[in-house]
Structure 1
């Protein structure tokens, strides 16, 4: 004989009157404020812990930076003696030092002028044209586009709650 699957249910506080709905909204606000209080306390403690460890690490990082810079100066001054042939890596007793080239990178300043110059020089292969659907234009006249396959215009209704809150005003004495 086949067993019927068990369905877990929870008892939700579903209001039956407006007053009960107002009370639930009040409860949500109270619970949200409690969560915010706990999160604030957590962040305060995390901040203190982080600051403690950062203070411990600060002099160590300064020592690393100074040692790194000293080693770099030595290696740059003695590169010819350290590197054999075309090698860019030197193995020392306690580790390796190396030089490497980064991949080429293009930076463009004054985009309009650069584009204009490329066009004048007929170097259009260096200009990229990107085509994409203008969704904002479609939303301005949705009736024109609803019959086009692949275009779907949707909207949905969402339910939300926003309990009222009041912030304590801070008064500052003006001199």
Structure 2
């Protein structure tokens, strides 16, 4: 008995496109684009309003649970801080396991916070502490666009320009 193998043939079809034949038909299609765009916007607004209502409902239901968790965490932390020496074997470990979970004391890595960046940079320069300032070197794309002939032939630089076709239906806003 021989086994035959069958290949599935994939057929790709191009979606039917309405191509207008007259100037009036183009105007009608642009009007349809405007109407359909407004219908989509209306649906998006309706969807976002429904999502906002659903989110608000769940947020209200979750708030008492969040408060309970935060309260329980503060209680656990207060008890563990009071008994830290015993729980950490005199500071030798940073984790203690209970039957229902564990607690940990973790020191975060140091971080630098800057307020008033310009004033801080001025102070560092004034104090001769420029080693704490960074100079960033980067390619000036605006300058290349202003002088494209100067960089013609430079490997890795390509200047491109794309033309978009935009249809903008006329719309009038209501005024009250």
TM-score normalised over the length of structure 2: 0.82
What is the alpha-carbon distance in structure 2 between the residues aligned to residue 111 and residue 15 of structure 1? 64
Matches within 5 A, 1:83-94: 83-85=88-90, 86-94=92-100
- The runs of 5 or more residues in structure 1 that have no matched partner are none
Is 1:105–2:114 an aligned residue pair? no
Deviates more, 1:53-62 or 1:134-143: 134-143
What is the alpha-carbon distance in structure 2 between the residues aligned to residue 14 and residue 81 of structure 1? 81
What is the alpha-carbon distance in structure 1 between the residues aligned to residue 94 and residue 12 of structure 2? 67
Q: What residue is the counterpart of 2:4 in the other structure?
A: none
- The runs of 4+ residues in structure 1 deviating greater than 6 Å are none
Match of 1:168 among 148, 168, 174: 174
TM-score normalised over the length of structure 1: 0.82
Q: What residue is the counterpart of 2:43 in the other structure?
A: 38
What is the alpha-carbon distance in structure 2 between the residues aligned to residue 5 and residue 102 of structure 1? 57
Structure 1's 5 and 89: CA in aligned 2 closer, same or farther, altered over 3 A? Answer: closer
Match of 2:143 among 137, 141, 144: 137
Per-residue CA distance 1:38-86 (angstroms, 9 max, x = gap): 1111111111111111110011101111111121112112211221141
How far off its partner does 1:24 sit?
0.4
What is the alpha-carbon distance in structure 1 between the residues aligned to residue 76 and residue 11 of structure 2? 69
Matches within 5 A, 1:1-175: 8-85=13-90, 86-109=92-115, 110-113=119-122, 115-116=124-125, 120=128, 124=131, 126-169=132-175, 171=176
- The runs of 5 or more residues in structure 2 that have no matched partner are 1-8
Structure 1's 6 and 67: CA in aligned 2 closer, same or farther, altered over 3 A? Answer: closer
What is the alpha-carbon distance in structure 2 between the residues aligned to residue 6 and residue 65 of structure 1? 59
How far off its partner does 1:27 sit?
0.4
What is the alpha-carbon distance in structure 2 between the residues aligned to residue 87 and residue 5 of structure 1? 63
Count of aligned positions: 164
